Amino acid sequence: MISGALRGLRLAGWNGAMLAPALALVGVFVLIPSVVTLAGSFFAFGITSSAWRFVGLDNYLQAFADPIFWVALRNNIIIIVGSIISQVGLGAILAAILDRGIKRGSTVYRTITFMPVVISSVAVSLIWLMIYDPNVGALNALVKAIGLRPPRLGWLGDPSISILMMLVTAAWANVGFQMVLVLAGLQAIPKELYEAAALDGARGLKAFWYVTLPGIRNILVVGILITTIGGLKVFDFVFVMTGGGPANATQVMGTYIYLQAFTLGNMGYADAISIILLLIALALGVAQLKLSRRG
């Protein structure tokens, strides 16, 4: 018994030693910055300021009274909803086509569709900046070729459509990931279920509703959760392509936090917005997980 206890302690010591580097990295780069951000949200200070002035909840009250904060939050919601429809929806359609409709060359099509996922988001943004360019962009040439007129202010300069252009860019970059995710779920559904459903008269849409959809339900929930989190923390596409403009039409929480912290020097206010964004992300994540378990 003593030797067994010693063996258990030795194993626990080895496990602790193996985990220690990872825990140290998490503590230094995640835990400590999170605690500092939470504490800083109750103070007013600049990025190079050595003096922190305690303001209590003033930073949070300022956020709720700030119209640009609500504009940024609204844009995040638009991106979340639009991304779920475009990325998860289109990814599911492409996965169904690859699973059922394409018998030859499916690996090639899958590779081509997935390719944008492995490209740097900054590179993707620069590619689409060239496509949207009002002078030499391919999109303008295409629109003119079919007899239509491009927007007078440009695809990214028109406040009424600039956020939609962001959605197109994000969809192109991420739909391949959703496609692979859903495709894995589709291929995991036993073929016997479709055969049994066919014997009961469930074919086509009925088979999709009663066999396919329940089979990939949890996969879709995961895809929606990943897309929601990505829509909340979106930064790189917006920062590179528009910087939050024109007239805050594409301003999101991430770029607004950056603006307040590193351009205007309101670190305390930026910390408060970061904490609000974290709470929103946690609430949405918990809600989606509860809905998935309920079903």
- What does the pLDDT read at residue 17? 81
Q: Alpha-carbon distance 184 to 210, whole Å?
A: 18
Give the mean pLDDT of 205-217: 78
Nearest-angstrom CA–CA distance, 14 and 19:
9
CA dist., res. 165 & res. 74, Å (int): 16
Beta bridge partners of 54: 43
Lowest mean pLDDT among 109-118, 171-180, 199-208: 199-208
Nearest-angstrom CA–CA distance, 163 and 79? 8
- pLDDT of 209 reads 75
pLDDT in tens, 128-142: 999 999 888 899 999
Going through 22-97 in order, the beta strands assigned E by DSSP cover 43-44, 53-54
Query: CA 134, CA 155: separation in Å to the nearest integer?
Result: 7
More confident residue, 28 or 238: 238
Residue 63 contacts residue 269 (beta carbons within 8 Å):
yes
Helix (H) or strand (E) holding 195: helix 191-199
Residue 24 has pLDDT above 90, yes or no: no
pLDDT at position 1 over 60: no
Average pLDDT over residues 150-179: 92
Q: What is the pTM of this model?
A: 0.87
The whole-number average pLDDT for the span 171-199 is 85
Indicate the SS3 state at residue 161.
coil
Instruction: Give 4's pLDDT tier (boundaries 50, 70, 90).
Output: low
**For residues 190 and 90, which has the higher predicted lDDT (pLDDT)?**
90
